[in-house]
Structures are given as structure tokens and as C-alpha cells.
């Protein structure tokens, strides 16, 4: 009787029922986990880039402000400008996140910029008028907030990559990684560098 009822159902209804059933089965067996975690990791990477871009955008105003008070610090100012230029040239899109070397190049460029920026900020100690400048103080506050956001976004990206990479190596999602998602590769995460456990000090 049940077979007769299925047989008389319109084809569209049977196809729709089959799609719904397939969706329920695949959702319950981890099929959706890999693409979901991959997209989450890519979204977290976008946030990392967003926060680094925010820092990059602050630098020209900071350099101009310091230059107004400390023109003799030419070498330091040039180093920051050059490091900023290099950091903006090293870009990674989501399709390159599986390449550890690309991520290392990005991380190294940002690390060089952090070092140059730290030297620029240290210069302010020699210029009391600069330290009390309202524009400089506002930039200081924005930079401190941005460094904290960078640290948080990097942490969230690392966690998203860990979850995604784990899904490629554990059951039941590993079965899908070997069949339906064979093109999905582990993503690279940031590697620890000396002093990277804490955001750069930008106190004045």
C-alpha cells in the first residue's frame, strides 16, 4: 500500500522528498562540516587582513605627525614608510591559505612593519611636545586598539584553521575529505615568532 502511494505521487514531489531526505542524511553524517569550517576559516582570514589594513591606514598620519616634531629622525621615518610599502605588497587571498610559505611571507612583512613602527613610536620619548600633541595621542589610542584587534583576529583565525584541519583528519568528516572534498587541503596558520605572544607595546 505504501509503495502504491509513493508511486502515484507526482515526480516533482518525489524528487523534492528525495532531496530533503538526502539533505537530512548528509547533514547528520558530517558532509557539511568541511565546507562550513573552510568558509569560517576564510572569513576569519578576511578579518585578519581587515585589521592589518586598519593599522596600515593609520601609519601615514602617524608618520606625518612625528615628522612635524622630529624631522631629524629621517632614517626611522623612511624605515616605517618602506616597511609599510612592503607589507601592502605582500597579499594573500583565500585560495592561497593552504600555502605555508605564502603565509610566512605575509607574516614576515607584517613583522618587519611592527618592528619599524615600534622604533618610530620609541622616538616620541625624546620629544615631549610630540607626546602631548592631541593628534598624536588620538593616533596612539587608535593604534593600541588596532594592535589588540590584530591579536584577537589572529587568534580566531588560528582556531578556525585548527577546527577545519582537524575535520580533514577525523571521522566521520575524514571520509568526505577523501571522497567528495578531495580538493580541500589543510590551511596554514601563523607560526609563533619571538615575542608574538603579546601585542607590540605602543605606550608612550
Question: What proportion of the chain, given as a percentage, has pLDDT over 90?
Answer: 66
Widest distance between CA atoms in the chain: 93
- SS3 assignment, position 123: helix
pLDDT given for residue 2 in this prediction = 45
Name the band, by pLDDT with cuts 50, 70 and 90, for residue 23.
Answer: low
Measured CA to CA, the distance from residue 61 to residue 66 in angstroms comes to 9
Measured CA to CA, the distance from residue 111 to residue 31 in angstroms comes to 38
30-55 pLDDT per residue, tens: 788 999 999 999 999 999 999 999 99
Instruction: Quote the cell numbers at residue 174.
Output: 575524514
Name the band, by pLDDT with cuts 50, 70 and 90, for residue 10.
Answer: confident
Q: Tell me how crowded residue 61 is: count the other CB atoms within 10 A of its CB.
A: 14
54-109 pLDDT per residue, tens: 999 999 999 999 999 998 899 999 999 999 999 999 999 999 999 999 999 999 99
CATH topology classification for 34-178: de novo design (two linked rop proteins) (1.20.1440)
Nearest Cα neighbor of 187 from 109, 113, 92, 54 is: 92
Q: Is the sign of the CA dihedral 5, 8, 14, 18 positive or negative?
A: positive
- Is residue 40 within 8 Å of residue 162, measured between CB atoms? no
Helix, strand, coil content of the chain in percent (nearest 5): 75, 0, 25
pLDDT given for residue 12 in this prediction = 72
Q: Which residues contact 124 (CB under 8 A, 6 or more apart)?
A: 66, 70, 130, 131, 136, 204
Q: Which residues contact 131 (CB under 8 A, 6 or more apart)?
A: 124, 125, 204
What is the DSSP track for 5-69? HHHHS-HHHHHHHHHHHHHHHHHHTTTTHHHHHHHHHHHHHHHHHHHHHHHHHHHHHHHHHHHHH
pLDDT given for residue 117 in this prediction = 93
Q: What is the DSSP-derived secondary structure letter of residue 151?
A: H
pLDDT given for residue 197 in this prediction = 47
Amino acid at each position: 500500500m505504501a509503495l502504491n502511494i509513493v508511486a502515484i505521487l507526482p515526480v516533482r514531489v518525489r524528487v523534492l522528498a528525495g532531496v530533503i531526505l538526502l539533505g537530512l542524511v548528509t547533514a547528520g553524517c558530517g558532509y557539511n562540516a568541511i565546507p562550513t569550517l573552510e568558509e569560517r576559516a576564510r572569513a576569519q582570514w578576511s578579518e585578519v587582513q581587515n585589521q592589518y589594513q586598519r593599522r596600515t591606514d593609520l601609519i601615514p598620519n602617524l608618520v606625518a605627525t612625528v615628522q612635524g616634531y622630529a624631522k631629524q629622525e629621517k632614517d626611522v621615518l623612511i624605515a616605517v614608510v618602506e616597511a609599510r610599502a612592503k607589507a601592502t605588497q605582500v597579499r594573500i587571498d583565500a585560495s592561497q591559505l593552504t600555502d605555508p610559505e605564502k603565509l610566512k611571507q605575509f607574516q614576515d612583512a607584517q613583522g618587519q612593519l611592527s618592528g619599524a613602527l615600534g622604533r618610530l613610536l620609541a622616538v616620541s620619548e625624546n620629544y615631549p611636545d610630540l607626546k602631548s600633541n592631541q593628534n598624536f595621542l588620538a593616533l596612539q589610542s587608535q593604534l593600541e586598539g588596532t594592535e589588540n584587534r590584530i591579536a584577537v583576529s589572529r587568534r580566531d583565525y588560528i582556531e578556525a584553521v585548527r577546527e577545519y584541519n582537524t575535520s580533514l583528519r577525523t571521522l566521520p568528516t575524514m571520509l568526505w575529505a577523501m571522497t567528495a572534498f578531495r580538493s580541500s587541503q589543510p590551511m596554514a596558520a601563523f607560526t609563533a615568532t619571538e615575542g608574538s605572544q603579546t601585542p607590540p607595546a605602543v605606550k608612550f
